[in-house]
């Protein structure tokens, strides 16, 4: 029985609620019904949009790199035939649902349909060597090698796409008619990406070693704007040597500049110093041989090893011999003239022990003979703590949001910086030259251009946040309109219904009911106990005047009472 009563009570309450809703709707006028319908439709639309947005699957790129036109069309046709939802973007990119991206990517890679193009060996697999001639097989091998080299180059994150063209070597029995293999490479680089010199040289070496009969100097590399990235090597040995020496000299100067900036920039800040270095370098390789002769250990006098003495005696008469044959005939024993002369000659030869010391000095090339340094320093920046008046500066939170003043460096600071730089480059006073100056650097762009740049940055940020701002604005506008419509149309209806609702009297206590006279006498006795006689007199006077006012102006009194009731509520 209790369950039946409970069920019956619930059904009764539901029926009463339905009746109240029907009465509420029937009590609305045409404008209120239209407003209520618009509010319900807007709420349903917003709720459906949120549910649709949350239930929508995230789309991700099928491949990171853009597809070529042929592969792009083939993949689109396959996805359309399979009824797989997809989206396309610029640069031939395809977006697919995140849950299916991995499976589709693996499947297309198995079909050799990727952003990196076909595998080069596919050309050989698709060619029948029995049907194709020798010339066609050579061409297919070149195409396969070109495709594989292009795929290798695309592994670099800075390279979007690559195209390789190979010219095979030309063999000839005559040496002057032989031509080496050559290759041309066009790299499609990503935006704001520059290939370093070492990367370009590495690409040259890789491609040259992959092609039979090719050298690194026979590989030409350009970008998509046909700018030459590879450096050509002159055929003349002297010119090639001069070019190599010039590159070495430039690299040495760049190292000196980096040393100077590493010393100065921590003191003044980045961009506050400009350094230029000029080197005089001797690229000649010299070999000096020096011989030194001396005694034992090259010290003291030489040591005598042996001495040889030779003595000669010569006699000469006063008269000479007669001329002719008589001079050759013996004259007998004729005594010499007493006035004749004799000469004695002695010769001494001494042999010494002599030591020989030979010194060979080889001077390596790239010897620095002179260093010339020019260093320009900017003024020091000092913040005075005052906020700048620029609106964009404060809004963007840039570094010029505060007033900045500049001041020149002192002589002591310049001297200290000069000593640091000289120590860093190995300055030799009588050999090298050093110049240091302190100037105020001019800005790269004018103040007007800087203001335009900041305003452009602000506009870009506003564009990024515009969708979110619009959603917030629409949400608050909907809340505001709904609140105003509720206050204008719904609140008066609720107030009217509340006023027309019958007031239920509180339950009386159990027992014998009292008459009206008894209740009034009890109420008067309680009031007399609570209120003094003076207050009772004042209350009677006020009551009489209120009754007179009600009789004279009943409409005004009713409006006043209604206002009091609404204020209390």
Output the domain CATH number for residue 285: 3.30.300
Greater confidence, 224 or 525? 224
Instruction: Give the residue numbers spanning the domain of 562.
Output: 541-568
Task: Identify whether residues 423 and 545 lie together within a single domain.
Answer: no
pLDDT in tens, 20-49: 666 666 666 666 677 777 777 777 877 777
Whether residue 3 lies inside any domain: the answer is no
Cα gap 150→161, rounded to integer Å: 8
- Which of 76, 111, 146 marks a domain boundary? 111
Cα gap 45→475, rounded to integer Å: 12
- Coil, helix or strand at residue 401: helix
543 token code pair: 């009551």
Task: Identify whether residues 254 and 194 lie together within a single domain.
Answer: no
Cα gap 65→78, rounded to integer Å: 19
Examine the pLDDT at 433 and tell me if it is beyond 90: yes
Looking at the 3D structure of the chain, how many domains does it have?
4
Task: Identify whether residues 87 and 220 lie together within a single domain.
Answer: no
Whether residue 303 lies inside any domain: the answer is no
Confidence of residue 392 (pLDDT cuts 50, 70, 90): very low
Task: Give the pLDDT score at 499.
Answer: 58
Sign of CA dihedral 471, 476, 479, 480: negative
Whether residue 430 lies inside any domain: the answer is yes
Task: Identify whether residues 157 and 282 lie together within a single domain.
Answer: no
Lowest model confidence (mean pLDDT) among 220-229, 367-376, 449-458, 513-522:
513-522
Threshold 0.75, pTM exceeds: no
Whether residue 26 lies inside any domain: the answer is no
Task: Give the pLDDT score at 400.
Answer: 47
pLDDT in tens, 134-180: 777 777 788 888 888 888 888 787 887 888 888 888 877 676 667 88
Task: Identify whether residues 229 and 141 lie together within a single domain.
Answer: yes
pLDDT in tens, 402-429: 557 788 888 999 999 999 999 999 999 9
Task: Identify whether residues 360 and 269 lie together within a single domain.
Answer: yes
Most confident of 77-81, 229-233, 282-286, 386-390: 77-81
Percent of the chain with pLDDT over 70: 61
Task: Identify whether residues 226 and 173 lie together within a single domain.
Answer: yes
Whether residue 246 lies inside any domain: the answer is yes
Greater confidence, 234 or 85? 85
Task: Identify whether residues 279 and 410 lie together within a single domain.
Answer: yes
Lowest model confidence (mean pLDDT) among 10-14, 96-100, 324-328, 343-347:
324-328
pLDDT in tens, 207-222: 989 888 888 888 999 9
Lowest model confidence (mean pLDDT) among 123-137, 243-257, 372-386, 543-557:
123-137
How many angstroms from the chain centroid is the CA of residue 71?
Answer: 31
Whether residue 22 lies inside any domain: the answer is no
Task: Give the pLDDT score at 47.
Answer: 75
Contact 382, 404 (CB under 8 A): yes
Task: Identify whether residues 172 and 229 lie together within a single domain.
Answer: yes
pLDDT in tens, 467-521: 777 777 877 787 777 777 777 766 666 666 555 555 444 444 555 555 656 666 7
Task: Identify whether residues 366 and 264 lie together within a single domain.
Answer: yes
Examine the pLDDT at 6 and tell me if it is beyond 60: no
Task: Identify whether residues 266 and 365 lie together within a single domain.
Answer: yes
- Coil, helix or strand at residue 88: strand
Percent of the chain with pLDDT over 90: 9
Greater confidence, 178 or 369? 369
- CATH at residue 203: 3.30.300.30
Whether residue 52 lies inside any domain: the answer is no
Task: Give the pLDDT score at 374.
Answer: 93
pLDDT in tens, 57-78: 778 888 776 677 777 888 888 8
Whether residue 323 lies inside any domain: the answer is no
Examine the pLDDT at 81 and tell me if it is beyond 70: yes
Which H helix or E strand runs over 565? helix 554-568
**Closest to 203 in 3D by CA, of 250, 149, 251, 141:** 149
Examine the pLDDT at 434 and tell me if it is beyond 90: yes
Question: Strands, DSSP E only, in 295-340?
Answer: 303-316
Which residues are CB-contacts of 343 (< 8 A; sequence separation ≥ 6)? Answer: 313, 314, 315, 316
Mean pLDDT across the chain: 74
Q: How far apart are the first and last CA of the chain?
A: 42
Task: Identify whether residues 219 and 246 lie together within a single domain.
Answer: no
Angle of the 134-153 helix axis to the 197-210 helix axis, nearest 10:
160
Q: Following CA atoms 409, 410, 415, 420 in sequence, which dihedral angle do they give, to the nearest 10 degrees?
A: -40
């Amino acid at each position: 029985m209790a369950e039946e009563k409970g069920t019956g009570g619930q059904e009764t309450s539901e029926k009463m609620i339905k009746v109240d809703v029907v009465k509420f709707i029937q009590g609305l006028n045409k404008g209120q019904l239209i407003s209520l319908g618009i509010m319900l439709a807007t709420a349903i639309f917003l709720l459906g949009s949120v549910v649709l947005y949350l239930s929508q699957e995230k789309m991700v790129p099928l491949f990171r790199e853009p597809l070529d036109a042929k592969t792009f069309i083939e993949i689109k046709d396959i996805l359309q035939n399979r009824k797989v939802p997809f989206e396309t973007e610029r640069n031939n990119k395809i977006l697919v649902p995140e849950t299916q991206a991995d499976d589709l990517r693996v499947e297309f890679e198995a079909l050799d349909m990727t952003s990196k193009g076909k595998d080069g060996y596919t050309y050989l697999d698709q060619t029948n060597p029995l049907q194709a001639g020798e010339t066609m097989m050579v061409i297919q091998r070149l195409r396969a090698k070109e495709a594989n080299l292009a795929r290798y180059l695309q592994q670099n994150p800075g390279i979007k796409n690559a195209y390789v063209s190979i010219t095979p070597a030309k063999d000839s029995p005559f040496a002057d008619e032989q031509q080496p293999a050559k290759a041309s490479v066009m790299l499609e680089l990503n935006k704001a990406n520059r290939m370093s010199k070492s990367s370009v040289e590495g690409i040259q070496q890789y491609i040259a070693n992959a092609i039979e009969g090719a050298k690194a100097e026979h590989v030409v590399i350009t970008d998509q704007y046909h700018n030459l990235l590879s450096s050509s090597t002159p055929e003349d040995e002297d010119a090639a040597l001069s070019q190599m020496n010039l590159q070495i000299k430039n690299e040495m100067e760049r190292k000196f500049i980096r040393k100077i900036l590493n010393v100065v920039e921590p003191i003044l800040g980045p961009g506050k110093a400009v350094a230029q270095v000029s080197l005089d370098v001797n690229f000649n390789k010299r070999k000096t041989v020096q011989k030194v002769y001396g005694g034992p250990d090259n010290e003291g006098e030489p040591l005598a090893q042996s001495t040889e003495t030779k003595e000669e005696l010569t006699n000469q008469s006063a008269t000479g011999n007669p001329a002719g044959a008589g001079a050759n005939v013996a004259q007998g024993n004729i005594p010499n003239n007493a006035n004749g002369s004799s000469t004695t000659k002695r010769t001494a030869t001494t042999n010494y022990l002599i030591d020989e010391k030979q010194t060979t000095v080889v001077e390596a090339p790239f010897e620095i003979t002179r260093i010339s340094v020019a260093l320009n320093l900017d003024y020091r920046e000092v913040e005075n703590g005052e906020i700048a008046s620029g609106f964009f500066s404060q809004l963007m939170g840039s570094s010029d949001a505060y007033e900045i003043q500049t001041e020149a460096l002192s002589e002591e600071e310049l001297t200290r910086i000069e000593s640091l730089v000289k120590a860093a480059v190995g300055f030799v006073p009588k050999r090298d030259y050093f110049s240091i100056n302190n100037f105020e650097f001019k800005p790269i762009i004018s103040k007007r251009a800087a203001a335009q740049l900041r305003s452009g940055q602000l506009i870009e940020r506003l564009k990024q946040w515009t969708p979110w701002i619009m959603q917030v604005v629409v949400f608050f506008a909907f809340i505001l309109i709904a609140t105003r419509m509720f206050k204008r149309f719904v609140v008066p209806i609720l107030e009217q219904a509340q006023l027309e609702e019958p007031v239920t009297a509180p339950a009386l206590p159990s027992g014998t009911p009292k008459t009206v006279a008894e209740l009034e006498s009890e109420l008067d006795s309680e009031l007399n106990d609570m209120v003094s006689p003076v207050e009772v007199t004042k209350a009677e006077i006020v009551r009489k005047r209120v009754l007179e006012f009600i009789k004279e102006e009943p409409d005004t009194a009713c409006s006043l009472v209604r206002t009091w009731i609404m204020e209390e509520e």
